Amino acid sequence: MEPQRILKKYFGLNSFKKEQISIIKEILSGRDVVGILPTGYGKSLCYQVPSMMMKGPTLVISPLISLMKDQVDALKDRGIPATYINSSLSLEESNQRKRNIRKGKYKLIYVSPESLRLKRFTDLLRDIGLVQIAVDEAHCISIWGHDFRPSYLTIYDFIQTLEKRPVITAFTATATEAVRKDIVDLLHLEEAFSITGNLNRENIYFGVKRPENEQQELLSQVNKRKGQQGIIYCQRKKEAEYVRDLLGREGYKAGLYHGGMEDAERRKVQEDFSFDRIHIVVATSAFGMGIDKSNVRYVIHLGIPKNIESFYQEAGRAGRDQSYSESILIYRYGDMAKQKRLLQISDLTKERYEIEREKLAVMDQYGTTKHCLRSFVLNYFKGAPPETAEENCGNCSNCIEEGHINLSLLGRKVVAAIKILGEASDKYVVYDFLLGRRSRELEKRGYCNHRLFGSLKNHKKYYMDKLFSLLIRELHLLADGEKLSITEKGSKLLHGQVEFIVLREEGEEKQDYHEELLLRLKSVRREMSRMEGIAPYIIFHDETLRDIARRIPLTKKEFMEVRGVGKTKAMKYGEAFLEEIRKYGDSQGKLDEIRKEIQKDPEHTTDQWDTYGLHKEGKSVEEMAAILGIVPGTVVDRLIREHEKGRDVNLDALYRSHLENQILHSIQKLGTDKLRPVKEDLKKDGIDVDYIDIKMIFYKHYGIRKK
């Protein structure tokens, strides 16, 4: 069976992300892989899908019992034979599973690295013909990682004992170049295919608060998000206990989780959170690894964590369903000194102590920087000095005021469409073009095959009205009756020189699903979860339920078209949900009329546009950015990489060549290799240049690729 069919049948998804399919192809070709993919990106699919196609079992090495159990429960619920072996099982359960392993009943076997020290168990694993060993949370093998675990160093010892070496795959969400190199070296990966996904969690707002009263600030943040699922990380056990009690007095259902609790107590809290019985978990850093809960809307850090890696991984537990979520750090000026004291009294080696001290200093910088918070973190993982971050992400507290939303990507597409169709375009022609409607005029002018055609097809007409009104109000567009033209400010928006930011309540699109039906579907899921003893999100994620409430399927076939369902789950759960939809229809009137009101989401897939292909078609940087939904700087970065590979890229088309001599003169005069000093120097002479222009001159004349 092909990967695409497995994805649809078992996981109910229509398409892979490009990094996922690249990894899967390499694994199936027999090549070792290192995948650095952000939290919520779908790392497990990368080894689970090929395991269904390979002749033999896959061994998955995972650090936490909770991670194993949830993943195995989810696989079994999809009809995939999987099991785990760890200390939570009784002797009888463990022996039965081992007998089944010997009989070849499982495609995936989850174990902890510690179990590879048990001779009788490793003897069993040596006999069953492993075809893949997947190492999850692979950063744990590196002394440079934020969660070094000596037990991971035994993995290669086990691999050496196998008669035939399987494919070795390693995955992590956060890793610097030093950690990635350690993973390759310590697992002795052979000519490994190494790939890093986009670590930018665009759906997460990053904020830093530096309050005088931290308790008031914490309550204020939680009160803003009443009814939402959240995690609050504290630095010490006593502080976590105090915060849990504080929230309890305020009427919140909050659980407590830290390393000093009994295993049974911790499991209960984790289960209550997974089953939506409590809305908030107050925890130390011990909580969260391996929780595949998609509807966590916010993560609050009360005080700075020990390092950026831990912080970003914990922040990434919000918004796994790609919906808007928030990460808030409540910075306290005394935390740095406390963390340093804890380091000084620890029993770390001198080398390890220095590594941790440097990581802590960077984390402290994050809490005080005036630069873009998102760029600060991404620079760190790229190996660039975090404090050199120059980008404006439009979605962090240093780049945007709280309560606002950045609509620049949508705005650029609108402005680009008007430029393509011609100034003084009729508003409704632009609507048809962006929404993908084949009007007679667009057909006649040959625009229905343009790559920007239909690029906003997932939005409703009422929202387009609102978007255009906001663009006119903010002076990006001029309207003369139904005719539209681009202002100077609109041109700057297209070039990425200004942002299109409005109040969140103005700029958000209304829900395109039936809220009451969604509540009914959640009730059905909750009852199924109780009856089967598995977490609600294992049955269906919230996004899947929203899609059901959006599409309102009436048949099993329509139900299978919903994102995240698949054949197995449709057979297992479909009738119960369809019955609830029918009941909802009876209470509301004719279902056919209700369905007409809903704008169906075509396929939930976005085209993977080829930047180089667009460039060869003669598209401008601004047009490419609008088509791809990215900023112009990213377009230029991609094309520079293509040029470095030897491909034919017209560098002169990527910047304003008339500014070349002035920029070159400034660089030579200043003797600098930084972008900002050149920009500021030219600004003194009244010359307004973009970072893109400067970046291109550095590359063209000096061969320096600036980030």
Structural domain boundaries in the chain? 3-196, 204-368, 408-499, 515-597, 611-617+629-702
Query: What is the domain class of 408-499 according to CATH?
Result: mainly alpha
Instruction: Give me the chain's average pLDDT, please.
Output: 86
Asked if residue 497 lies in contact with residue 690, where contact means CB atoms within 8 angstroms, the answer is yes
Q: Is 704 exposed, middle or buried (0-12, 13-18, 19+ CB in 10 A)?
A: exposed
Residue numbers of the chain with a pLDDT score lower than 70? 66, 145-146, 286, 288-292, 384-391, 458, 509-512, 588-610, 617, 626-630, 645-647, 705-707
Is it true that 3-196 and 204-368 share their CATH fold? yes
Please report how the helices 308-315 and 350-368 are oriented relative to each other, as an axis angle in degrees rounded to 10: 60
Is residue 422 within 8 Å of 450, Cβ to Cβ?
no
Query: Which residue in this structure is represented by tokens 């963390």?
Result: 339
**Residue 593: per-residue pLDDT:** 62
Reply yes or no on domain 3-196 having CATH 3.40.50.300.
Answer: yes
Q: pTM of the predicted model, to two decimals?
A: 0.66
Contact 162, 199 (CB under 8 A): no
pLDDT at 289: 58
> What fold characterizes domain 204-368?
Rossmann fold (3.40.50)
pLDDT at 601: 38
pLDDT of residue 589: 63
| Domain 515-597 coded CATH 3.40.50.300 | no
**Tell me, what's the pLDDT at 120?**
92
Which class for 250: exposed (0-12), middle (13-18), buried (19 or more C-beta within 10 A)?
exposed
pLDDT for residue 471:
93
Token readout for 626 is: 């609008």
Interval 582-619: pLDDT, tens: 888 877 666 666 665 554 433 333 333 467 777 876 77
- Which of 76-111 are b and which e, b meaning 16 or more Cβ less than 10 Å from the residue's Cβ? ebbebbbbbbbeeeeeeeeeebbeebeeeebbbbbb
Those residues with Cβ within 8 angstroms of residue 570's Cβ, 6 or more apart along the chain or in another chain: 12, 556, 559, 560
pLDDT at position 600 is 42
